[in-house]
Amino acid sequence: MFEISAPYPLIDALLSLPNPQFSDSESLADEVIHRRAIDGTLYTFVKTKAGRRVLKWDFEVTRNKGLETEAFIRLHVSDRWRVVDHNSRVWLGYVRNTPFELRSDGRAEPAVQAWPVGERQSFTIEFEGVQQ
């Protein structure tokens, strides 16, 4: 199970989501910056971000859960989040993907999931934070 609570530390909302699809990713938030001087000399800088990581999760949910997620993100887009991911790791940070977009890919089938028959939606959450 995947849980997002916000705002951190005075939590007033909790969003529970199913586990993300297999395409989740994790990367460092550090940047390498290249600058060239007037005389042609190349300078390289590494901009570190204190161990922050960028996480990307893809979810597939029913329409009602998609609308609930959209309302949660709109309400807490600028707040600090506490995320307990599907690997039971706890993250503190902020959402990165704005505007939030729901994609309607098809219909939900009861034989595939324990969902009611209806519209199936997918979305991606991009998150930047530190692991606790």
| Tokens, residue 3 | 């849980």
- Where in the chain are the domains? 2-131
Q: 12-42 burial string, b = 16+ CB within 10 Å, else e?
A: eeebebeebeeebeeeebeeeeeeeeeeeee
Taking CA atoms, 97 is separated from 38, 90, 106, 125, 126, in Å, by 36, 20, 23, 7, 5
Span 80-101, average pLDDT: 88
pLDDT value of residue 72: 92
Mean pLDDT computed over 102-120: 65
- Tens of pLDDT, residue by residue over 29-53, are 567 888 999 998 999 887 766 778 8
- pTM, two decimals, is 0.72
